[in-house]
Amino acid sequence: MASGSKGEWSAVAATLARGQNGQKRKFIIDCDAGVDDAEALMVMLSSSIDVIGITCVSGNVACPQVVKNVQRVLANCKRSDIPIFAGAEAPLLATRKDATYFHGKDGLGDVPVDPSFEPDQASYRAPETESAVSALLRLAKEHVVSPAEPGQSFGDRAKTIKLQLEPLEARLAEAVKAGELARALFLEREVYAVSARLQAVEDVIVEFGAEAGPGLDILALGPLTNLAVAPRLYHRFPALVRHLIIMGGTSRARGNVPGFPSAEFNLFADPHSAQITLHSYFQPILVTWECCMDHSFEWHRVNEWLRKDTAKAKFIRHIFHFAQQVSLENNWDYIACDPLAAAVAVEPREVVPEDKMAQLHHCQVQTASIADPAYAQTVVDYDNLSGCVPNTWLIHAVHVPAVEKIFLRKMEDA
């Protein structure tokens, strides 16, 4: 039984599909720039949105290399006007992992710049001296909208969270009274998380006013370290984010990390940051590994797309060779993880057109012990057995023709 009632996703998709008060949508992309991040960036840059910054985080490769890869992608898209910010170089607590086995040692297939269709490296934009987290905080404040559209103000969000908190506190009191200590401890942590979200919004109201609202959306394509550190430095930050779309996690406990069968790489790379993020931000949207697998493409179809005689298609074909060979050796289809999340972000009503394709559930990330096979698993409470507040939108299905249209558009030269 879905936690989200009929019509709720349609409302979320409608707000995500347009900016506040008719303005162009403002996005920050937080990424760990491997080959699929490169594709996702190209999806975003070929859409009618305003990318105001790209923040980098260690993941597929180390953060300094991520910065170089973003520079290269932006140059190939003729968008070196977009600022790049270096971010976290290591997870909060875990040991740093990478995915070079799939993306290549440099994250972009270990292929040199091809001067026949790629810009010279001298044209690359230098990264900013400001850190990724500092940029996130600054840009979120700069893009507060006042007054906000009905239903999108800080005051509206505070009312929603208060309505969630009251029955949760009642369930906690019942558990304490019944002597159900384990359940009480679990619900106490949930009350703390929801109360923290409410406090962040109430403090933002003091700063900006109840009629104002968030004007910034974030697409997160890698480990969530930057997004977990930001609210630790400025606890109001999650309240300043309108929508957070994340590629990561699992919805059916089917992962992609050797030795950890129920973990997806992005959340596995920093599960503690993932747990903080899911509990700090208001109803993030999760495009999970299983959703990406369920909507994979055969390589012959992908190669048809890449035969387009454009510089962008040549660039994708160039950097994809390594990942394609790894995929073919393992009998894997093309699983478009980050590009699929980008497609959801740019055209949510077309890509996820039906309410049954997305559901709102309580999610948390297993962080207890790396010795546990379920380490970094996304635990989904499908039937609300925990009594916790549904906190995360799970995208379960997408409209493939809409996705293909978006993927093809990214290869068109401007």
- pLDDT tens-place string over residues 177-195: 999 999 999 999 999 999 9
Handedness of CA 208, 273, 42, 351 (dihedral sign): negative
pLDDT number for residue 414: 59
Report the CATH number at residue 22. 3.90.245.10
pLDDT given at position 167: 95
Domain presence at residue 186? no
- pLDDT confidence band for 4 (50 / 70 / 90): very low
- 166 in a domain, yes or no? no
DSSP label at residue 257: B
Pairing of strands 216-220, 241-247: parallel
Give the pLDDT score at 373.
Answer: 86
pLDDT, tens digit, 9 for 90 and up, residues 365-386:
999 888 888 999 999 999 999 9
Q: Is there a domain that residue 152 lies in?
A: no
161 within some domain: no
Average pLDDT, integer, range 110-129: 94
Which amino acid makes up residue 230? A
Residue range 97-117: average pLDDT? 95
Burial of 352 (0-12, 13-18, 19+ CB in 10 A): buried
pLDDT of residue 412: 83
The first and second tokens of residue 386, run together, are 């925990």
192 within domain boundaries: no
Backbone angles phi and psi of 110, in degrees to 5: 60, 35
pLDDT tens per residue across span 32-53 = 999 999 999 999 999 999 999 9
DSSP summary character for residue 340: H
Q: Evaluate whether residue 171 is within a structural domain.
A: no
Cα separation, 23 vs 220, whole angstroms: 22
Other C-beta atoms lying within 10 Å of the C-beta of residue 320: 23
Q: What is the mean pLDDT of residues 258-277?
A: 95
In-domain check, residue 163: no
In this structure, the strands spanning 358-365 and 392-395 are antiparallel
Rounded CA-CA distance 286/162 in Å is 23
pLDDT level of residue 7 (50, 70, 90 thresholds): low
Q: What is d(CA 128, CA 318) in angstroms, rounded to the nearest whole number?
A: 28
| Residue 372: predicted pLDDT | 87
pLDDT band at 340 (very low <50, low <70, confident <90, very high): very high
Is 203 inside a domain boundary? Answer: no
- Write phi, then psi, for 176 (nearest 5 degrees): -65, -45
Give the residue numbers spanning the domain of 16. 8-145+214-409
pLDDT per residue over 55-83, tens digit each? 999 999 999 999 999 999 999 999 999 99
Please, what is the Cα angle at 152 between 398 and 54, to 5 degrees? 60
Task: Decide if pLDDT at 6 tops 50.
Answer: no
Judged against a pLDDT cut of 60, whether residue 223 lies above it is answered with yes
Least Cα distance to 154 among 236, 196, 215, 210 occurs for 210
Average pLDDT over residues 306-334: 93
Q: How many domains does the chain have?
A: 1
Q: How many CB atoms lie within 10 A of CB 323?
A: 21
Whole-number Å distance between alpha carbons of 188 and 310: 56
Q: Tokens representing 357? A: 């394709």
Q: Which residues are CB-contacts of 314 (< 8 A; sequence separation ≥ 6)? A: 114, 117
Q: Look at the pTM and tell me if it is higher than 0.85.
A: yes
Which DSSP letter does residue 49 get? S
pLDDT tens by residue, 149-180:
999 999 999 999 999 999 999 999 999 999 99
